[in-house]
Amino acid sequence: MKLYTYYRSSAAYRVRIALNLKGIAYESVPVDLKPGAHRRPDYLAVNPQGLVPALVDGAQPLSQSLAIIEYLEETHPQPALLPRAPLERARVRSLALAIACDLHPINNLRVLNYLRAPLGIDEGAVNDWYRHWVAQVFQGLEAQAQRSSDGRHLAGGQVTLADVCLVPQLFNARRFNCDLAPYPMLTAVGAHLESLPAFARAAPGVQPDAP
Ligand SMILES: N[C@@H](CCC(=O)N[C@@H](CS)C(=O)NCC(=O)O)C(=O)O
């Protein structure tokens, strides 16, 4: 498999974690978001949305990190990232979607860049925007985790899709100096997960395109 990735992309980070957890070997193809390599014709031919990640397994590239991870789950079922019981499965998806659908899209590079120009919002206010939306979603996530977590995983006693989404979001929150003190369960879970080899090998700092 070939993964189009950028070291600091949290959506690509999710897929790297899932590939590692499932023991799937892959080739990394870096797409440098900084100079806009994701908007060039050669990458748009891979993913017309102009976003990373994209996974190639066979002829047609796949985009959208959660769709990619569900594809990996179906083609490589072990270890399972979604519990078998429907209610538990829905709970895991609910936690993952809070991050991937409610938080990540409004704090994305293109959104932050649009605030900077053309809207002309200064860097301090852009950072406030970022931290505001992290706090909004993390408050609810922390309360959910207080109910569902064993202190090492967001839901239940095993690594799930929710954990795969949490760790990259915690990385981003730290990068933007968000105050994580109000979220002791999220940070405890994150600390455990980051110590696992599959997560550690997916971390931005150890990617081939990391500076
Ligand atoms: N929902 C998509 C989001 C993909 C996405 O937004 N990727 C970001 C990096 S994390 C990106 O390519 N950003 C480029 C930009 O915003 O211009 C997914 O989960 O794959």
- Give the CATH number of the domain where residue 50 resides: 3.40.30.10
Mean pLDDT of 169-181: 98
pLDDT in tens, 103-139: 999 999 999 999 999 999 999 999 999 999 999 999 9
pLDDT at 64 over 90: yes
pLDDT in tens, 135-165: 999 999 999 999 999 999 999 999 999 999 9
Residues 190 and 97 in one domain: yes
**Does residue 210 lie within any of the structural domains?**
no
pLDDT at 85 over 90: yes
The binding-site residues of ligand 1, defined as CB within 6 angstroms of any ligand atom, are 9-11, 33, 38, 51-53, 64-66, 100, 108-110
Instruction: From the CA of 33, give the closest atom in ligand 1.
Output: 14
Residues 105 and 167 in one domain: yes
The mean pLDDT of the chain is 97
HSE-up of residue 181 (Cα within 13 Å, Cβ side): 1
pLDDT at 196 over 90: yes
* Domain's final residue, options 25, 58, 79: 79
Residues 155 and 123 in one domain: yes
Query: Which pLDDT score, from 0 to 100, does residue 88 have?
Result: 97
Rounded Cα gap, residues 154 and 152, in angstroms: 7
Predicted TM-score (pTM) of the model is 0.98
Per-residue confidence at 43, pLDDT binned at 50, 70, 90?
A: very high
Instruction: From the CA of 12, give the closest atom in ligand 1.
Output: 10
* Domain's final residue, options 18, 53, 79: 79
Give helix 109-116 / helix 123-148 axis angle, nearest 10°.
Answer: 150
Query: Which pLDDT score, from 0 to 100, does residue 59 have?
Result: 81
For the CA atoms of 26, 78, 103, 173, the dihedral, rounded to the nearest 10 degrees, stands at -70
The number of folded domains in the chain is 2
**CA distance to 36, 135, 188, per residue, from 182 (Å):** 35, 9, 12
CB 141 within 8 A of CB 72: no
Range of the domain at 154: 86-198
Residues 7 and 96 in one domain: no
Distance 31 CA to ligand 1 centre (A): 12
Phi-psi region of 177 (alpha: psi -120 to 50; beta: other; left: phi over 0): left
